[in-house]
Amino acid sequence: MRFSTVICALLFLPAAGLSAQAASSSADAPHVHVQLVVPEDQIYPAGNNAAGLYFKLEPGWHVYWKNAGDSGEPPHIRWTLPEGVTASEMQFPAPKRLPLGPLMDFGYEDEVLFPLQFQVAGTVKQGKAILHAHVDWLVCREVCIPGKAELEVKDEMLPAAPPAIVGSAVEAELIHRLARTLPQPLPAGFKAVFQPSQDGFRLGVETGKRERAAVFFPADENVLDNPSAQKVTPTAKGLVLDLKKDANLAANPAQLKGVLELAGGRSYELAALPGTVKVGWFGVELLQVVGLAFLGGLLLNLMPCVFPVLFLKGLALVNSGNKERHAMRAHGFVYAAGILVSFWVLVGALLGLRAAGATLGWGFQFQSPVFLALMAGLLFFMGLSLAGLFEIGLTLTSAGGSLAAKEGYTGSFFTGVLAVVVATPCTAPFMGAAIGYALAQTAGVTFAVFTALALGLAAPYCALTLQPAWTRWLPRPGAWMDVLRKAISVPIFATVIWLAWVLEGGYGIGLLGALLASFVLLAIAGWFLGRWPAQRWATVVAGVIVLAAIALSVLAPGKLAAAPESQKAGPQAQGQWEPWSAEAVSRYQAEGRPVFVDFTASWCLSCQVNERVALGQPSVQKAFKAGNVALLKADWTRHDEAITQALTALGRSGVPAYALYAPGQSEPVMLPEVLTPGIVTDAVGKLAH
């Protein structure tokens, strides 16, 4: 037993006496309900006498796998059985990684069943059989509480198997549903080898197809550094998993034994032998993904998120109608540079956070209330300028000499930056697969894919500036340009309204009030700049007010953000859509029902469009009902690690994403990022064939 477990047991030893002492099939103890599950009313020789030890846990509490990780102890069971009856060892389902401060435990939350079987000798006599079990366990959250119970079941023992078994349908369903999570033996066509690396082991697994997600649970203690991130590198026929070894490991193991869990809940027991693990460089595949990323960047220009920026660039082109061709080309290159630099900064942040163990996806910054508030304030201030409240150009000219000459190129660069910022809540067609691939690869491949995406986003405007013949179609400058500039403020303010709606929906009315207060401060700052243009003192006052608005946006979320709404609401609370969970997917599949999962977020405009033009249409709803499809919504508005991991397992890095699970199939059909009613109804219709 680990040292931390001993300490927990000493601190909470009196709690063990709280367990139920009466000999019944179930017991309630602090934070856990435990039950001996035996579905048949009779036990008999040569039969499938399936049983299990079931735990139902309070939210946030967990019990442990056979290798508990850095702390903890698995449940134990000791039997008192009639003559001729024996019980097999408990089997352990695939666990979860459970971070606990700097430690990493392996265990189970919510509910778990440890399956086992009774074997009955052929010489047993007919009569009542008492199956008695002494069970002890450790249940933990921030603290650990040991528990124990005496459980027993009385069954009729028969000398031969009856033609039909009459038993508890509830207990039989419980075993059928939860026993499916047991790791399976590694199939004959699979291969697993491991190779020592500089600070750990490289585990190579071949399954016959490309695998995008995996987690390895070591069967032996003190072999791996459990809290360290496990880097997955997909290969053409499987994956390579980089594992960090325990600092105190003296010699490499003869076998690397444990449980490997793959995407879709597939888990296998493996005992990898030493061998050579190669990570191939798939040039053709990389070129295909780079091409998809470039095409996705092109289509991103058509997404509603980028429309306000396109308006700004349209005005810039009109303003440059009388400029020389080389100046227009320069603006195009500077705009592209702004997009490239922004994407490189974004991918650098993603890779840095991934190296630190975080799991993030495309658009992750929109899960931050601070970012939402600052972004809304920036666009609101820009809208005030476009609407004519003040002129940024005059202020910059008076504040610092040479800025006037650089204003045009600076504007083009930061317009490119803005294009990337407002594009991240959208996922265009082909982008989801490309970004999901990129984030699972090495840093070089990730940068290559994101660079292609950036070039695709910048391409339309650059092409316009590089083609001189098209400039003759641009109108001549005139007074109408001032009207157009003010008109462009309308989509800017519309974007501000959308950001405020996202902030209120995710974090509550209190934070919306703080945002509106920051808008008042920004309006006052804009008034100073417009009332006293080219005055240094007015610029200083406006700057101080803007800093106050920024401080309010940064500090308010920590004080005013509302707690997230419960994700446990059922379909009665949310129409026919239920909150997503991996357990809900497994439960509906066990019932033989198809499952449709909508991975969405309130800040994702593409998601909102798809819900209105496709998922909410009567024809689609009718198809769902006719196919008895269970509808689950995975809301990623706030960061949710379970949803992030599910997206990664599906090869996606952001929303929207749509997965349709057929009964009995762990791998879903992935629908495209842009939906039509026909796409959804066709996919649902194919389930019946």
pLDDT tens digits along 419-448? 776 666 555 555 555 666 666 666 777 888
Task: Give the integer Cα–Cα distance in Å for 413 and 267.
Answer: 49
Contacts of 589-592 spanning 24+ positions with Cβ under 8 A: 589/661, 589/663, 589/664, 589/665, 590/176, 590/177, 590/180, 592/663, 592/664
H helix or E strand, kind and range, residue 104: strand 103-109
pTM confidence score? 0.50
DSSP H or E run through 449: helix 443-466
pLDDT of 282: 47
Interacting residues of 682 by C-beta distance below 8 A, sequence separation 6+: none
What are the residue ranges of helices labelled H in 214-368?
A: 283-300, 307-319, 325-355
- Cα–Cα distance measured from residue 184 to residue 261, given in angstroms and rounded to the nearest whole number: 10
Do residues 204 and 226 lie in contact, with contact meaning Cβ atoms separated by under 8 Å? Answer: no
**What's the pLDDT at 393?**
44
Say how far apart CA 490 and CA 481 lie, in whole Å. Answer: 15
Place 668 in a pLDDT band, splitting at 50, 70 and 90: confident
Cα–Cα distance, 588 to 32 (Å, whole number): 25
What span, in angstroms and rounded, lies between the C-alpha atoms of 125 and 84? 9
The predicted model gives 16-20 an average pLDDT of: 41
pLDDT at 405 (0 to 100) = 32
24, 93 contact by CB (below 8 A): no
Pairing relation of β-strands 184-185 and 267-274?
Answer: parallel
Q: How far apart are CA 229 and CA 243, in angstroms?
A: 8
Report which listed range, 125-134, 574-583, 678-687, is most confident.
678-687
Predicted confidence (pLDDT) at residue 500 exceeds the cutoff of 80: yes
What's the average model confidence in pLDDT over 7-32?
Answer: 60
With a CB cutoff of 8 Å and minimum separation 6, the contacts of 335 are: 313, 412, 413, 415, 416, 458, 461, 462
| Span 34-51, pLDDT tens digits | 999 887 656 666 556 788
- Residue 256's region, left for phi above 0, alpha for psi from -120 to 50, else beta, is beta
Q: Is the dihedral of CA 300, 304, 310, 314 positive or negative?
A: positive
pLDDT on residue 151: 93
3-state secondary structure 649-683: HCCCCCCCEEEEECCCCCCCEEECCCCCHHHHHHH
Q: List the domains of the chain with CATH numbers.
A: 3-181 (2.60.40.1250), 191-274 (no CATH), 283-560 (no CATH), 578-688 (3.40.30.10)
Identity of the amino acid at 60: G
Provide the CA 278 distance to its chain's centre, in angstroms. Answer: 29
State residue 411 phi and psi, 5-degree precision. -60, -40
Task: Tell me the per-residue pLDDT of 271-289, one tens digit each, with 9 for 90 and over.
Answer: 999 887 866 544 556 677 7
Rounded Cα distance, 353 and 359, in Å: 7
Residue 573: which pLDDT band, with cuts at 50, 70 and 90?
Answer: very low
**Is residue 290 helix, strand or coil?**
helix
**Residue among 112, 88, 117 nearest 181 (CA):** 112
**pLDDT above 50 (res 8):** no
pLDDT value for 1:
42
Distances (CA, A) of 510 to 171, 290, 373, 385: 47, 43, 13, 27
**CB distance 145 to 15 below 8 Å:** yes
**In the prediction, which pLDDT does 437 show?**
62
pLDDT tops 50 at residue 525? yes
Predicted confidence band at 418 (pLDDT cuts at 50, 70, 90)? Answer: confident
Q: Would you state the pLDDT for residue 386?
A: 76
pLDDT above 70: percentage of residues in the chain: 74
Give the residue, 407 or 269, on which the prediction is more confident.
Answer: 269
What's the rounded mean pLDDT across residues 517-536? Answer: 90
Please check whether residue 67 is in contact with residue 220, taking contact to mean a CB–CB distance below 8 angstroms. Answer: yes
> Rounded to whole angstroms, how far apart are CA atoms 231 and 146?
34
Length of the chain: 689
Instruction: Specify the higher pLDDT residue, 638 or 148.
Output: 148
What does the DSSP 8-state code read for residue 24?
B
Model confidence at 642: pLDDT above 50: yes
Q: What is the mean pLDDT of the chain?
A: 79
State pLDDT tens for residues 213-248: 899 999 999 999 999 989 888 887 888 999 999 988
> What is the structure's pLDDT at 20?
40
- Cα end-to-end span (Å), the chain: 53
Q: Which two tokens stand for residue 205?
A: 């697994």
**Residue bearing the bigger pLDDT, 95 or 476:** 95
Indicate the DSSP class of residue 564: P
- CB-based contact 370:506 (threshold 8 Å): no
Element spanning 125, H or E: none
- pLDDT tops 50 at residue 19: no
CA distance 298 to 300: 5
Confidence of residue 157 (pLDDT cuts 50, 70, 90): low
* Segment 365-394, tens digit of pLDDT: 667 788 888 888 888 987 888 788 887 543
Name the residue with higher pLDDT: 402 or 594. Answer: 594
The C-alpha atoms of residue 501 and residue 372 are separated, in whole angstroms, by 10
Render pLDDT for 291-320 as a digit per residue (tens, 0 to 9): 878 887 887 776 655 655 655 555 555 555
47-85 confidence digits (pLDDT tens): 567 889 999 999 999 999 999 999 899 999 999 988 888
- CA–CA distance from 548 to each of 375, 391, 392 (Å)? 15, 21, 19
- Among 412, 249, 414, CA closest to 317: 412
> Which pLDDT score, from 0 to 100, does residue 227 have?
93
Burial 530-544, CB ≥16 within 10 A → b, else e = bebbebeebbebbee
Backbone torsions φ then ψ of 293, nearest 5 degrees: -65, -45
Rounded Cα distance between 151 and 134, Å, is 6
Q: Among all chains, which residue has been given the structure tokens 């009466």?
A: 22
Cα–Cα dist 492/498, whole Å: 10
SS (H, E, C) 308-330: HHHHHHHHHHHHCCCCCHHHHHH
User: Is the link from the previous residue into 564 a cis peptide, with omega within 30 of 0?
Assistant: no
* Average pLDDT of the segment spanning 164-187: 72
Is the separation of the CB atoms in 153 and 131 below 8 Å? yes
Phi, psi of 90, rounded to the nearest 5 degrees = -65, 140
Q: What is the pLDDT of residue 463?
A: 79
